[in-house]
Amino acid sequence: MSNTQSRTEYLRRIHKVQDYIEDHLNHTLVLDELADIAGFSKYHFHRIFTAITNESLLQYVNRIKLERAAFFLVHRPEITVTDIAYHFGFTDSAVFSRAFKHHYSLSPTQYRNQHSKNCKDPVENPKYNRGILNDRNGSDPVDSKANVEMVTVNEMRVIYVRYTGTYQGLATAMPGMMEKLYGFAMSHNLLEPGKTKILTIYHDNPEMTDENQLRTSLCMSIPNDAKFEENGDIGAVGHFEIYQHEYGAAWKYMYGEWLPNSGCQPRDAFPFEVYVSDPNANPQGKQFVDIYLPVEPLGKL
């Protein structure tokens, strides 16, 4: 096995653990279990995880929990601080409050009050695709308004390549990620003409996560031979025809204009983009993009 193949395998195993952690944030995460998922001994797994992610396992789990909790504090006002603490596996609200204040320098209540007030102010440009957004050359974000509809999204099976870092760095890395994804799919006969979808999943909220720790997965749908229940999850999909520099404005429209007027609230799941067309095929460089936003009915206080 070459050095490149070896590192790829190590990253694959660490990403597998990260995926498991995200799916079980409201459970007690045991080192032995996570080490077994990674296929390393408990002693070596902890060292490998820290070396690759630059965070200890405990630091990583706590940070992800606190960032998701921060999202709940801002966008789920009907859920109490205590319920949020228990939801993410903290033993009580006092432990959660101390950890939260250590991370954000604000108590959960202060954070909720401050950011809830900010949400009522004029919406600023979000940090999604910030590097691209900075080059908008004054284009009007109103141009990115879209037809939004409610859809049921059935579970799909994907392969992915993951990037950790700033969105500016992601823009540079994306061509290589795409080449790697297509190369793997072609070599394993996974492409389905007319059915294969390319999508991007943003694992972290850029308003709450340090830009160097933002995780993004470039995904490709693959044939799904396994048996799944047909009841998918409800989400909103915004259909956009935009230029490369208008992605930030499209996300802003979904979160800043459509969502507050929709009667819905964000569900605890990841938003993602599906690329419907090839921008190189459009003489003007425009691309059809669908932004999927997982939602549920708006709760009452």
pLDDT at residue 183 in the model = 86
pTM of the predicted protein model: 0.64
119 pLDDT higher than 70? no
81 pLDDT higher than 90? yes
Helix, coil or strand: residue 275: strand
CB neighbour burial string for 214-247, b if at least 16 within 10 angstroms, e if fewer = bbbbbbbbbeeeeeeeeeeeebbbbebbbbebbb
- Of all residues in the chain, the percent with pLDDT exceeding 70 is 82
Q: Among candidates 123, 120, 145, which has minimal Cα distance to 256?
A: 123
Among 57-71, 85-99, 137-151, name the one with the lowest average pLDDT. Answer: 137-151
pLDDT at residue 67 in the model = 92
pLDDT at residue 97 in the model = 94
69 pLDDT higher than 90? yes
Residues 100-111 have pLDDT tens digits of 999 999 999 999
Residue 264 pLDDT level (bands cut at 50, 70, 90): confident
pLDDT at residue 95 in the model = 93
For the residues 202-207, what does the mean pLDDT come to?
A: 85
Q: What is the DSSP string of 181-220?
A: HHHHHHHTT---TTT--EEEEE-S-TTTS-GGG-EEEEEE
For the residues 129-140, what does the mean pLDDT come to?
A: 41
Output 4 or 25, whichever has higher pLDDT.
25
127 pLDDT higher than 60? no
Average pLDDT, the chain: 80
pLDDT at residue 129 in the model = 41
128 pLDDT higher than 50? no
Output 180 or 100, whichever has higher pLDDT.
100
For the residues 218-241, what does the mean pLDDT come to?
A: 68
CB neighbour burial string for 39-63, b if at least 16 within 10 angstroms, e if fewer = ebeeeebbebbeeebeeebeebbbb
Residues 15-55 have pLDDT tens digits of 999 999 988 988 888 889 999 998 887 867 888 888 888 89
Output 65 or 226, whichever has higher pLDDT.
65
80 pLDDT higher than 90? yes
Among 5-14, 64-73, 167-176, name the one with the lowest average pLDDT. Answer: 5-14
